[in-house]
Structure 1
């Protein structure tokens, strides 16, 4: 199996994944600075005894500061602010030059919602409500409070479950952690190819998935996307009682540590590995666990 989820060094200058992380940090820094500036302006306005509505007139300092903060808040999703650095989830992603666009839940919803607005209006309303809440969840997560991330994940899992078609579900499911993705009735739906953020290549022969490779686009490596894909594949194989087999072929074969890292990664997911270049790796089906679903947030229902 060829695997490229993490590059040989995530600190190499010019590394696309490092650039995504740097832009993420800068986006959060810009937003915090704008938030502080708005709070400072509010205090100074109050101290001067001027009516607040004067500052909200079009073009007034307060109105300009609010508009800038709103713009920067919307850009949090563009850069994946609030995402767990090494575990793929609902807030993960970023701007990728390799994919000519943004990978993120808000961008996916913006693309999916118009296509299904006529045939599934209630579902699309749920989808758009989720997207509207994302910037505020990102803000809380970046501040260290991840409670709202769990709630958002629950809501996304429900939206995926209620998707009006397989095409709609496919676009959204990859934003969930691997352990929360639904098990498809057709294993081949887990294949990923083309211009997406991840490629998962395999064939099915009798009762075995012959895994050819899992390749993550360079800008998103090291964020857990490849692991999420493998977890989903393993859970699906277990549910369908299929073996998984492949060869140990790291993408970065020139890196002396790549082979050992790939072997460790595979063993962590239940594979038996011959640790040599091209060595055989295999995984028998485990007893499938009950399909994971996010715990409903306290209070009975998730926030709308």
Structure 2
């Protein structure tokens, strides 16, 4: 009897050891992936900050010429670019404060758009970086992980916090919130519209550069995001759906758009909806939409890849890799659990 008790105890002990070992192995691998994600997010943020420094030096020349303020702004850009990691936040904050003093009206429109785009990329890269830090620390700080030292000797990741540039009163850069729809057909393809910038026509007869984008547009006063998405869907395609039928918003994209001689800082919120494939109707489009929308295409991930390979731009930039998730959410409908809004490019 005692022998059987000993055997059972040994079996239980071995099973526990195996389970703990398997958990520890999986957790260590997950930590490794999280640290890789953290390293990559810092590289992306560092690149976005470096690009902003380059644009800041161009702004210094255009806004101030060779004057003292221009030299100071250029020096702050150099200092931010060369600052070590522990001093980088303070240096970047000084640069942000100096850029906030620049009057956008003193800059060419193209440089205003480039600066706004550089700052939007810094904002997005910082969010991705801090998300990676949060997820890594959440696992590293678990008692069992610390007890077993599964994090190894890797240093704890750190957040990167800098003040966002204050909004100016200038109307050169306008802000808007947009509701966009990833409209899927029964085979999982997404409806894309093809457009161009009306202000980019040079009168020579050659067409302006064209790009592909999802259905959607600006939220009007008094509308919810879902109401705006449903309205834009009907106006641009003729398809009428109830706002409650839309899934989302599931993604958010911050973009700076140089369109129709205006620079727009746009916060785009994406919904998902599945329907049977149909031929979109342009009858509800505005005059401007009729001028800049030239056609449409239902595209799967392969077709999107072919457009990109041919040198055409598709927005959002991650759309081909997001289609699998979009189709899964459309299939789940209301059965999927509440999910956190995800930032995309």
Please give the TM-score of this superposition, normalised by the length of structure 2.
0.29
| Structure with the largest fraction of helix | 2
Q: Quick one: higher RCO (CA 8 Å, sep 6+), 1 or 2?
A: 1
The structure with the larger Rg is: 2
Please give the TM-score of this superposition, normalised by the length of structure 1.
0.32
| Structure with the largest fraction of strand | 2
